Every structure is written in structure tokens, then in C-alpha cells.
């Protein structure tokens, strides 16, 4: 018998995969790919939310630093002017630490609110401004 002679039998009697084995393998592969796609969508949503929160926090930090850079006596107790910037509504509030002694400091609070797919979201930053 020649090396190149065609035989009906493969070594060890293997003849390949059956149709059932191929269908099971494709089903398992499909299930795995769908799970990965689902995780990818969840990651995209998480990144979108994180981006919004980061941007809102940056806007709030900028506004807070603006208020803190002003002289102590220019910030009156109560609400600060509301500003709308790029889809964000920025509110501020100043509260004296001790109402009887105005020299103890002020609590400056900045709230940034926005709409995300119909849901109201907000981030709040608070800082104490000493009277120096």
C-alpha cells in the first residue's frame, strides 16, 4: 500500500465532527458573544454617566473656586445668582458658620443639576471659606 493511497478510514477511527456537535459548539459561542455584547452596552452606559458626573463636578468646582476667590465681605449670606451653562443649572448658597460672629467663616455650597434621559441628576460641592 502506497503512502498516497486513499483510505476509507482515518487513524483511530475518527471521521470528524457530527452535526449535533457543531450545533452545540455554535450555540455556546453565540451565548458567549451575546454576554460580551451585553457587558459592552453596560460599559458604554457607565462611561456616559461617568462623563456627565465628571463634567458637572468640574463645572461645580469652577464655580466654587470663583466664589472662594472673591473677598470675604462680598459674599452675602443666602442664595447666590443662578447660572445656566451648557445644559447645567448652577445654584449657590452661602451660610455663616456662626450667626452671632460673622468673622468665623462661611459655608459655600454649589449645586449643579442636569437632566439625563428625563431623570433629574445633581452634584453638590461644599467648602468652608475662612475669614482671613
Q: CATH number of the domain that 69 lies in?
A: 3.30.1300
Indicate whether 89 belongs to any domain.
yes
Number of domains, the chain: 1
Indicate whether 63 belongs to any domain.
yes
Indicate whether 3 belongs to any domain.
no
* Least confident window among 21-25, 75-79, 115-119: 75-79
Classify burial at 68, counting beta carbons within 10 Å of its beta carbon; exposed 0-12, middle 13-18, buried 19 or more. Answer: middle
Rounded to an integer, the average pLDDT of 55-59 is: 92
pLDDT confidence of 61, banded at 50, 70, 90? very high
Q: What is the pTM of this model?
A: 0.68
Indicate whether 93 belongs to any domain.
yes
Residue 7 pLDDT = 57
Rounded to an integer, the average pLDDT of 4-22 is: 70
Indicate whether 124 belongs to any domain.
yes
Alpha carbon distances (Å) from 67 to 22, 58, 93, 131: 67, 14, 10, 13
* Beta-strand pair 88-96/119-129: unpaired
Amino acid at each position: 500500500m502506497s503512502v498516497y493511497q486513499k483510505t476509507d478510514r482515518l487513524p483511530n477511527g475518527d471521521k470528524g465532527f457530527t452535526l449535533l456537535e457543531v450545533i452545540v459548539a455554535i450555540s455556546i459561542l453565540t451565548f458567549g458573544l451575546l454576554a460580551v455584547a451585553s457587558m459592552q452596552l453596560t460599559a458604554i452606559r457607565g462611561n456616559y454617566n461617568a462623563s456627565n458626573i465628571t463634567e458637572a463636578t468640574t463645572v461645580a468646582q469652577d464655580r466654587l473656586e470663583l466664589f472662594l476667590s472673591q473677598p470675604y465681605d462680598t459674599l452675602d449670606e443666602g442664595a447666590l445668582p443662578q447660572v445656566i451653562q451648557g445644559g447645567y443649572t448652577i445654584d449657590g448658597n452661602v451660610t455663616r458658620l456662626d450667626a452671632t460672629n460673622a468673622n468665623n467663616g462661611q459655608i459655600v455650597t454649589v449645586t449643579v443639576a442636569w437632566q439625563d434621559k428625563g431623570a433629574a441628576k445633581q452634584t453638590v460641592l461644599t467648602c468652608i471659606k475662612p475669614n482671613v
